[in-house]
Amino acid sequence: MLDTLKLQLTSANPAVISIIYSVLLSFVLSTLIAITYEKTFRGLSYSRNFVQSLILSSIVATTVMQAIGDSLARGLGMLGALAIIRFRTSLRDPRDIIFIFAGLAAGISVGVKGYVIAVGGTIGFCAIAVILYFSPFGQTNYFDGMLRFNLENNPSSKDMLEKVLHNYCKIFALVTLRDMAQGNRLDYAYHVKLRRGKSNDDFIEELKKIETIKGVHLLLQERTVEL
């Protein structure tokens, strides 16, 4: 058995070596795409399973394309087999779909031995993704969290609230406003982004100094990783 395996790996039969090189190249390119996805992600959380899927899908695409080769019958058979499978995973972010397609495109290009196209396309895709991350198209003014409280409905309380918000927040936007206690109090919900150097605790303490304010809650939106 060992002699047979050694014979397959010699230059007389380069197919096995070509397959190994293709899978390794697909792995390297898809890993670059996955790293780019992580570094340019601006949401609240990303899934590790999704990042792994970016890499694995590229390797699967390479394997499938090498198995099909130039055979039309194999291609139609593979298409029929994939048509049976129902993919129910929903991707809410269009950007995630684009990265999935990028991984598949890299894997397909490697599988058909279009190595130059695979390498050039992957590097170009990752470079443009990084450029967009730092460009005006990127979400530079995202919020730190949501502030909720209720306040007495009078002009003086509103003026004090405005002063605190302008002092501590770089950006704030009113999300919801509803009546409480037959209109005597108002329930507020703000999206806020704190100024640099301003702490959350000081912000909360300053809000609590307003005598008519109650139920102050600051829900921070830290980036997390979904396991």
* 80-118 b/e (C-beta count within 10 Å ≥ 16 → b): eeeeeeeeeeeeeeebbeebbebbbbbbbbbbbeeeeeb
Q: Is the pLDDT of residue 26 over 60?
A: yes
Specify the 3-state DSSP secondary structure of 215. Answer: strand
Residue 93, φ and ψ in degrees, nearest 5: -100, 120
pLDDT score of 125: 96
pLDDT tens per residue, range 39-78: 988 765 678 888 999 999 999 999 988 888 777 666 666 6
pLDDT at 90: 67
pLDDT higher than threshold 50 for residue 227:
no
Q: Which of helix, strand or coil describes residue 211? A: coil
Whether 34 shows a pLDDT value over 60: the answer reads yes
- Mean predicted confidence (pLDDT) in 207-227: 74
Phi–psi pair at 19, nearest 5 degrees: -65, -45
For residue 9, give both structure tokens.
Answer: 């790996």
pLDDT score, position 226: 41
Which pLDDT tens digit goes with each residue over 140-177?
556 778 889 999 888 888 899 999 999 999 888 888 88
Cβ-based neighbour number of residue 200 at 10 Å: 14
User: Does residue 11 sit in helix, strand or coil?
Assistant: coil
Two tokens, residue 19: 């397959």
Residue 5 predicted with pLDDT over 60: no
In whole angstroms, how far apart are CA 125 and each of 34, 56, 128, 138? 12, 18, 5, 16
Q: How many helices (H) and strands (E) does the chain have?
A: 8, 6
Contacts of 38 (CB under 8 A, 6+ apart): 46, 51
**pTM, entire model:** 0.60
Q: Express each pLDDT in 197-211 by its tens digit.
A: 888 888 889 998 888
The domain ranges of the chain are: 9-134, 145-222
Closest CA to 82 of 100, 96, 68, 99: 68
pLDDT tier at 84, thresholds 50, 70, 90 = low
| pLDDT higher than 50, residue 212 | yes
For 145-222, which CATH class?
alpha beta
pLDDT tens string 85-132: 566 666 677 888 899 999 999 999 998 889 999 999 999 999 999 999
188: β partners: 149, 177
Calculate the dihedral angle through the C-alpha atoms of 113, 114, 119, 120, rounding to the nearest 10 degrees: 170
